[in-house]
Amino acid sequence: MRGNGSPAGAAARRAAARITAAFADAGVTGQLHALDVDTGTSVSVTATQLAPTSSLHKVCLLAALYREAAAGRLDRTRQVDIPAAGRTPGLSGIAVMRDAVRLSLRDLATLAIAVSDNAAADVLWREVGIDTVNRAMAELGLPDTVAVHDMTAIRNALLAQPDLTDPAALSGISVLDPSRTNRSTPRQMAELFAAIWRDEVCAGDLAAELRSILGLQAWSHRLASGFPFDDVRVSGKTATLPTVRHEAGVIEYPDGGRYAVAVFTRAASTAAILPAADAVIGTAARIAVDALRTA
């Protein structure tokens, strides 16, 4: 593994080669960064190249909310009235609810993570602020993790593109270009999760609450699919755009081993539903975690 002796380095290179082969077999190009939360030992595949983060930035939003709460600058239990009109449209959470609701900041964050609720996320973007989120990431040592707009802006950019199945047209979409949209690298997203698990974003009960929210994601077709073990905990958050499928999270084994993993993919196919591309995120993550657990 990185920073260790050459036999471990060779094991990391073998793992990286298997991960690259798995990506190719699934019809995607992929990036990965996996690290042992406690030792820092890591496995990488083009882990420092910028990519659009889309819904993964909801983790940055959640982390910033809890960091502000820990500093006493925000009350995460503050209730927000959200009328029925004017909500960001979406496919889950309050984005699909028809009536007015009143929710605390932390419950909005819970919906944004558990079911990737875009309406809840956009309320939080307004309440927490893009600058606050970017400052939090910079102070955590993640300067390449930058937000420039909310979920509504991403949706509008997609709506402006008439054909989402044309690969040539897709290459010009702003939200697929990391220089023009919310962005990060697999390495920094994995490091953000590691920081959350090491109590570096906030500590104590607040940190436990933050981590428990990240364990509530409803779907299991990506990262969790690689760890179909009843006694292994998977926490994470997905991101999806045309041809883009990501997930970052933490895998916890009952022996105390915990591993932060971020897997970013771009598919050759423009199909919206692509099970092989979802599943390879879990496959790649497990190859990496198995290598870290053997190190």
Helix or strand (DSSP H, E) at 294: helix 275-294
230 near other proteins, judged by CB under 8 A: yes
Cβ 218 to other proteins, closest distance in Å? 5
Does position 228 interact with other proteins (CB under 8 A)? The reply is: yes
Pick between residue 89 and residue 254 the one whose CB is nearest to other proteins.
Answer: 254
Closest-CA residue to 197 (of 141, 251, 263)? 251
With b for 16 or more beta-carbon neighbours within 10 A and e for fewer, the 207-242 pattern comes to bebbbebbeebebeebbbbbbeeeeebbbbbbbbbb
* 234 in contact with other proteins (CB under 8 A): yes
Residue 232 binds to other proteins (criterion: CB under 8 A): yes
CB of 224 to other proteins, least distance (A): 7
Quick one: 14 or 73, whose CB is closer to other proteins?
14
H/E segment holding residue 120: helix 118-128
Instruction: Kindly tell me which of 145 and 217 has the beta carbon lying closer to other proteins.
Output: 217
CA atoms of 263 and 283, how far apart (whole Å) = 10
Residue 289 — φ and ψ, nearest 5°? -65, -40
The CB-of-253 to other proteins minimum distance in angstroms stands at 9
Strands (DSSP E) contained in 67-116 are 79-82, 101-104
Question: Scanning residues 58 to 117, which ones bind other proteins (CB under 8 A)?
Answer: 114
Q: How far apart are CA 182 and CA 88, in angstroms?
A: 17
Applying CB under 8 A, the span of 36-44, 92-100, 202-210, 232-240 interacting with other proteins comes to 232-240
Token duo for residue 16: 């990286």
Q: Closer to other proteins at the Cβ: 100 or 229?
A: 229
252 near other proteins, rule: CB under 8 A = yes
- The least distance separating other proteins from the CB of residue 229, rounded to whole angstroms, comes to 4
Cβ 269 vs Cβ 29: under 8 Å: no
- Give the Cα separation of 209 and 202 in Å (integer): 10
> Is residue 39 near other proteins by the rule CB under 8 A?
no
Applying CB under 8 A, among 224, 241, 250, 281 the residue interacting with other proteins is 224
Find the part of the chain contacting other proteins (CB under 8 A) among 92-100, 195-203, 273-281, 287-295.
287-295
Task: Select the residue interacting with other proteins from 33, 106, 183, 286 (CB under 8 A).
Answer: 286
Q: Applying CB under 8 A, does 287 fall inside the site for other proteins?
A: yes
| Size (the chain), residues | 295
As beta bridge partners, residue 248 has 237, 262
Pairwise CA distance, residues 246 & 52, whole Å: 9
Decide: is 294 part of the binding site for other proteins (CB under 8 A).
Answer: yes
> Considering only CA atoms, which of 117, 120, 121, 127 is closest in space to residue 101?
120
Exactly one of 54, 110, 217, 265 binds other proteins (CB under 8 A); that residue is 217
The label of the residue with tokens 């697929």 reads 176
254 near other proteins, rule: CB under 8 A: yes
Q: Which is nearer to other proteins, 30 or 242 (CB)?
A: 30
Residues making contact with other proteins (CB under 8 A): 114, 215-220, 224, 228-234, 252, 254, 286-287, 290, 293-294
